[in-house]
Amino acid sequence: MNMSEALPPVALRGFEQFRAFWEPRWNKYAVKVAPGQFYVSNSDMVITTVLGSCISACIHDPVTKFGGLNHFMLPSSGGSEDMNRSMRYGFFAMEQLINELMKFGCNRDRLEIKLTGGGDMMGSGFNQIGQQNIDFILQYLKDEGLKLLSSDLGGDRARKVAYFPLEGRMLVNKLDHREDQRLIEEERSFRVDVDSHLDDSDVELF
Catalytic residues: 54
SS3 category, 115: strand
Other C-beta atoms closer than 10 Å to the C-beta of 14 total 11
CA distance 116 to 54: 9
Task: Name the E strands within the chain.
Answer: 21-23, 28-32, 38-41, 46-51, 55-60, 67-70, 112-117, 147-153, 159-164, 169-174
Question: Could you tell me if residue 47 is left (phi over 0), alpha (psi between -120 and 50 degrees) or otherwise beta?
Answer: beta
Contact 171, 48 (CB under 8 A): no
